[in-house]
Structure 1
Amino acid sequence: MSLTGFRSPWWFLLLVVVAAVVAGYVLAVRARRKRTMRFSNLALLERVAPRAEGWTRHVPAALLVVSLLLLTFALAGPTAEQKVPRNRATVMLVIDVSLSMEATDVQPSRLKAAQDAARQFAKGLTPGVNLGLISFAGTATVLVAPTTEREGVVRAIDNLKLAQSTATGEGIFAALQSIESFSAVVGGAEGPPPARIVLMTDGKQTVPQDEYAPRGAFTAAGVAKQKDIPVTAISFGTSHGTVEIEGKEVPVEVDDASMKEIARLSGGDFYKAATAEELKQVYASLGEQIGYETKDVDASKPWVVLATLVLISAAGTSLLVGQRLP
């Protein structure tokens, strides 16, 4: 555990008191020694005075000082970074269902592998995150509005169907609209929850041809940037994928460059997955990023426990060494 700061550092002023206790103990030891040296009959003193315990007689006092130091540290409110589940966030999962997803360069097919990975992502996402699902080909369809219920999302993922064309921009715009509608309902005094779009596609946009067109993918990514909704773009597939359309073998190479540009324009991240296992790893990483956040939490309890144990040790050693409490 690495400490990140203190919530009440003014408690460290108690160190002055601790220093005073140490100084008082040293002065008391010296005064006792002087009184002993003044005793006129040293032979009688050796017979009636208890035998000196040496350095061990200082152990109880040392433990008491250590416990005070630990208690002061605890009162100062040390904090540490800790991953905690998010209790409010919105994620729209946008999945390409164009005909190119039928390619088998990723076994058993791009679509089946994408469904499997998306299903695991939905099931593993922390309960406080609202998850929605959009599929897109020539048009985009909101299959599930943002919700914390995962069963509907999983069923919708299982029932994804292929269609013609790839309108990536429409998928992003549909996600933005769904997020805005949901945020308007749940915003409250704290404002809308943070949102993100997770876009998974395997090919280049075909509708419209120009990605900078009003409904193009790059235009949509720019709008997402303005609304502070980053797009995490996942490019899925290989350069040698093919599908059969009307009896012809058609190559369906992935378009990494466009996906990288969508991520850049929106302020999001880009991931490349050429296998089903790589896609699962990408989704697992996203689940950690989206589902959890790092916060500074109170870390004083271990110090209080340690201070208490040392204080008990001080009392125990004092009774053992000097037959009295310090």
Structure 2
Amino acid sequence: MRAPMLALTYLAPDRFWLLVVVAAMAIAYVVLQTRRRTYAVRFTNLDLLQSVAPRSPGWRRHIPAILLLMAITALVVSVARPAREERVPRERATIILAIDTSLSMMAEDVDPNRLVAAQAAATQFLTIIPPQINVGLVSFNGTGAILVPPTTDRARVRTAITTLELDERTAIGEAIFTSLQAIKQAPIAEGDEDNEEVPARIVLMSDGKTTVGRPDSAGAQAASEAGVPVDTIAFGTENGVIILPEEPAPVPVDVDHAALEAIADATEGRAFRAATEGELREVYRNIGSSIGYEIEFNEVGRWFVGLGMTLLFLGSCLSLVWFSRLP
């Protein structure tokens, strides 16, 4: 699947100097027409001239010449190798969805609760990603776990998302390390080498802060060294609370925005915030429209060759019809 872009670039722009030849031809044509008009004025017996000279074609005599110059211009543009930028899904591109499944995801500040909203948004995210791109799923609470290694089987990932289960504690640093391990399990495309770098990205959604395991900074450093950006999504509101049997009062479950933004900054990823299911869906949509692609240049010189040939044909036909000769 290719996503076209409208911008045109030229792979051989130095060849535009040939337009000087076109400009010289246009100037020469104007000069010749001026000299022709001057010679006609020198013939002073205008009554005799009108009686013997054929009816002037007027403006029509310029049309074949104009079409010829336009055709040559189009051919010069084709020689400059015009190309259109296109976003093309990268082969073996891999996205790891890392979803927080700590107990704080029980909070009902997001309707019906954070976990259900996250599951719905992540499921929709799968429909945005091009089918050629591998998607893996990692869940994390006190530890990180690879639920689905990178695959193009969207049904498998979708099923795993619906079966996410909550547990105690939050280990964001461990989630990053686990995601990096999942990336190494990306399938090898035909013709690729085992040690070939896999273009990958981690999309990490969390509603809390690290309480156990290796620190966030260690995970961010590992991702940075691996060249894997981490896009973070801080999900939830400032009013989130959960009810625990052993606690006499509701427990606040705030989102650590600063920590998640630090991870994104350290890995050259992007940091997002979402306080509702709709906002989370929109964040996933923005991420899905930009990752897993590379820019390729598709030459479109044939367009201008076709235009030039059409103009030449049209000019020749008009010249034959009007003047019984080729331009």
TM normalised by structure 2 equals: 0.86
Post-superposition shift, 1:99? 0.8
CA contact (8 A) 1:183 1:192 kept: no
Aligned equivalent of 1:233: 232
1: CA distance, partners of 2:35 / 2:233? 77
- Post-superposition offset of 1:41: 8.0
Deviates more, 1:38-47 or 1:311-320: 38-47
Deviations 1:114-171 (A, max 9, x none): 0011111122211221111100111111011111221111111011111111111111
Q: Percent identical across equivalent pairs?
A: 44
Structural mapping, 1:1-326, within 5 Å: 3-19=7-23, 21-22=25-26, 25-26=29-30, 29=33, 45-182=49-186, 188=193, 191-208=196-213, 215-246=214-245, 248=247, 249-326=250-327
Contact 2:83–2:300 (CA<8 Å) still a contact in 1?
A: yes
Shift of 1:16: 4.9
Shift of 1:100: 0.7
Amino acid at match of 2:254: E
Structure 1 residues 51, 307: CA separation in 2 closer, same or farther (over 3 Å shift)?
Answer: same
Supply the AA of the counterpart residue of 2:232. A
Q: Is the 8 A contact 2:15 2:79 kept in 1?
A: yes
Q: CA deviation at 1:295?
A: 3.5
Amino acid at match of 1:221: A
Give CA deviations for 1:18-63 in whole Å, capped at 9, x if unaligned. 3454466456656766876788987665434312223331121111
Q: CA RMSD in A?
A: 2.8
Q: For residues 195 and 65 of structure 2, what CA distance do their matches in structure 1 show? A: 52
Instruction: Calculate the TM-score normalised by the size of structure 1.
Output: 0.87
SS at match of 1:289: coil
Paired letter, 1:188 = E
More displaced 10-residue stretch of structure 1: 307-316 or 135-144: 307-316
Number of residues of Structure 1 aligned to a counterpart in Structure 2: 320
Contact 2:9 2:85 in 1 (8 A): no
Q: Which runs of 5+ in 1 are unaligned?
A: 209-214
Shift of 1:17: 4.5
Q: Return the offset for 1:180.
A: 2.9
Which stretch has the larger CA shift, 24-33 or 140-149?
24-33
Aligned partners of 1:70 and 1:304 also within 8 Å: yes
